[in-house]
A and B are shown apart, each in its own frame.
Chain A
Amino acid sequence: MNLYQEVILDHNKKPRNWGTLSNPTHQAEGLNPLCGDRIWLMLEVMDESIVDIAVDGESCAICKASASMMTLSVKGKPLKLAEELTSVFRKMVLGEHNESDESQLGRLKIFQGIKDLPSRVKCAVLPWHTLQAAVNSQGRISTEGSDDPISS
């Protein structure tokens, strides 16, 4: 499966919800020191739901498209659902998901092929990982070291 499909290239070129929020309730910075990806994520949470989300930063196409598509999947959704989706997405890129997970993933399934590129898995997971960091008020996370999303 070719990872660099139209959808991913399109989201890389025109990332959705890109930029900053004027009144964020939560935010976090996500770093991938191995390739230099650096993203900033802002959330506006009300009544346990993501009312608005914005991402900014510099990254590879996989990370940027993943961030862009993530914003579309979680905007307007309850935090709990975003958390579930993070876990399912993580399972998918590691090749550990099952059929019932697939129905939840929808168009995010386009990232399935990344399980065959272990060195790029972290690029795709970084936005989701940063989302969880923002929700948990962690401030800053990295794909390396103690908060590596893949090794745990």
Chain B
Amino acid sequence: MNDPTIFRKPNNRKLDVSEIRKDFPILQTSVKGNPLVYLDNAASSHMPQCVIDRISEYHLSEHSNIHRAVHKLSEEATAKFEESRTIVKEFLNARDEKEIIFTRGTTGGINLVAKSYGEKFLREGDEVLISHLEHHSNIVPWQMLCQKVGAELKVIPVTQEGEVDLEEYKSMLSTKTKFLSLTHVSNALGTVLPIKTMIKEARSYGIPVLVDGAQGVPHMTIDLRDIDCDFYVFSGHKMCGPSGVGVLYGKEELLNKMDPYEGGGDMILSVTFEKTLYNKIPYKFEAGTPPIAQAIGLGRAVNYLQSIGLNQINQHEKELLAYATKRLDEISGLTIIGRSKHKAGVISFVMDGVHPHDVGTLLNDKGVAVRTGHHCAQPTMQRFGVPATTRASFYLYNTISDIDQLINGIHSIKKIFD
């Protein structure tokens, strides 16, 4: 396929955002007569034309079921699906393709681990540790597990800046701690957690660690051998890929010890009514027909991000964050929630006398898309004493002018509510 974007080579120069924007047709949308300013990337990012084309090409000429039939289409679809697994493996610097499991998303991956690892290895009196910055998807599965096996869920506190309290964390680790599950980046506040330091501490107790990378993978270079976690999960639709697909990385040794998650086709070697022999990893955890088109689209999204360069994207987002922070700080009556020195391109704020939902509706009138609410992180909101915030989150195609539009929108809201 003739796709210029996959021949684009990353370099050390700044991103050419105006060129990048041409790759994303949806950015031409207008909202109420205004050009769309999309600042809700932490919820879902957009797909470049090359990913849309790749998915379309699959449906036009490759669509079939995988790992089954001997006919041409099935063999091609299988090859492309497995090729995506290799692309993802190399992208994350994992050791082997069998450590890459396709899921339906981050939530699916966490539930898989909570069930297949947690229910097998955790017992009454054990402790599961999470942070106060987790998304509901990294709280509820552990709560369900704890209720089921009689374990206790413990929460690492966060500071007023929105950072994990490392001293508290260290004091909470003990021989009773049997699992640590942490977000890489807080979706509500943007805090980047010091996961390497935290994992090192957990290692001295032999505690397995899952990292929720839904907000990590899209925005920074991930080297799983360097991070050295046991599990890492993320979603396709926050990294220029389609929804409906995600990845669970797991260390081979642990995946082999775990029970299957769902039963069905593809996860078996043989089935009789008396006994079923399970397939080897990764297939043991991929029961039923997987999201084939989506996985292939995700592979193309990874290639696209690689062609731009994750370090370049990260640097670009840092510049946007610094500018947005400066401009928002100039507005009286506006408070940014989360002041960590280590933040991704996410900025959450509240305004005196204006509820975030009113902010969101009125910004939409100006074409600016932000997220308002509790961001599926109600405990984080409670920690900071707010029911909800307005959140702007950036990606590779956002510009300084996008932030200016946001700021103009906020000023007009202030006028309305004065």
Given A4-B362, A34-B373, A36-B374; A120-B416 close (CB under 8 Å): no
Contacts of B372 on A, CB cut-off 8 Å?
Answer: 35
CB of A4 within 8 A of CB of B387, answer no
Q: Which residues of A contact B387 (CB under 8 A)?
A: 35-38, 58
Flag if A9 contacts B416 (CB, 8 Å): yes
Of B146-154, B215-223, B334-342, B349-357, the segment with at least 4 beta carbons within 8 Å of chain A is B349-357
User: What 1/0 flags go to A25-61 for Cβ under 8 Å of B?
Assistant: 0000000011111100000000000000000001111
- Further contacts, 10 of them, CB under 8 A, given A4-B358, A61-B354: A2-B365, A4-B362, A13-B417, A33-B378, A35-B357, A36-B386, A60-B357, A60-B358, A62-B357, A123-B357
Instruction: Give Cα A35 to B358, complex, Å.
Output: 10
> Does residue B361 face the partner (Cβ distance < 8 Å to A)?
yes
Quick check: is B388 within 8 A (CB to CB) of the other chain? Answer: yes
Chain B residues whose CB sits within 8 angstroms of the CB of A62 once the complex forms: 357-358
Of all chain A residues, which has the CB nearest B387? A36
Q: Which residues of B contact A13 (CB under 8 A)?
A: 417
A120–B355 touching, CB < 8 Å: no
CB distance from B352 to the nearest CB of A (A): 13
* 15 contacts across the A-B interface (CB closer than 8 A): A2-B365, A4-B362, A33-B378, A34-B374, A35-B356, A35-B372, A35-B373, A35-B374, A35-B388, A36-B374, A36-B388, A61-B417, A62-B358, A120-B357, A123-B357
User: Please, how many angstroms separate the alpha-carbon atoms of A37 and B372 in the complex?
Assistant: 13
Tell me, yes or no, whether B321 is within 8 Å of chain A by CB.
Answer: no
Q: Does chain B have a CB within 8 A of A21? A: no
Residues of B within 8 A of A12 (CB): 417
Considering only CB atoms and an 8 Å cut-off, how many residues of chain A contact the other chain? Answer: 20
Determine the chain B residues whose CB is within 8 A of the CB of A3 once the complex forms: 361
Shortest Cβ gap from A93 to chain B (Å): 14
Set of chain A residues within 8 Å of B386, measured between Cβ atoms: 36
B361 contacts across to A, CB distance below 8 A: 3-4, 117, 120
Give the distance in Å from the alpha carbon of A58 to the alpha carbon of B354 in the complex. Answer: 11
Bound complex: CA A62 to CA B372 (Å): 15
B185 interface residue (CB < 8 Å to A): no
Most chain B CB within 10 A, of A3, A13, A35, A38, is at: A35
Contact indicator per residue, chain A 108-152, by CB within 8 Å of chain B (1) or not (0): 000000000100100100000000000000000000000000000
Minimal Cβ-Cβ distance residue in A for B381: A36
Give complex CA distance A125, B361 in Å. Answer: 17
Chain B 358-401, CB-CB to A under 8 Å as 1, else 0, gives 10011001000000111000100100001110000000000000
* B362 to A, closest residue via Cβ: A4
Give, as a whole number of angstroms, the nearest-CB distance from A15 to chain B: 13
B416 & A60 in contact (Cβ 8 Å cutoff) = no
CA A13 to CA B358, docked complex, whole Å:
13
**From A117, which residue of chain B is reached at the shortest CB distance?**
B361
- By beta carbon, the residue of chain B nearest A64 is B355
Q: Is the CB of A60 within 8 A of B362?
A: no
> Within 8 Å CB of A37, what residues of B?
355, 387
Residues in A neighbouring B381, C-beta threshold 8 A: 36
Contact B373 A61 (CB under 8 A): no
Measured CB to CB, the closest approach of chain B to A115, in angstroms, equals 14
Determine whether the beta carbon of B388 is less than 8 Å from that of A61.
no
CA–CA, A117 and B357, complex, Å: 11
Closest A residue to B355 using CB positions: A60
Cβ-closest chain B residue relative to A60: B355
**For B378, what are the chain A residues with a Cβ–Cβ distance below 8 Å?**
33
Q: How far does the Cβ of B364 sit from chain A's closest Cβ, in whole Å? A: 9
- Report yes or no: B355 in contact with A59, Cβ–Cβ below 8 A: yes
Could you mark each residue 98-109 of chain A with 1 if its beta carbon is under 8 Å from any beta carbon of chain B, else 0? Answer: 000000000000
Residues in B with CB closer than 8 Å to A34 are: 373-374
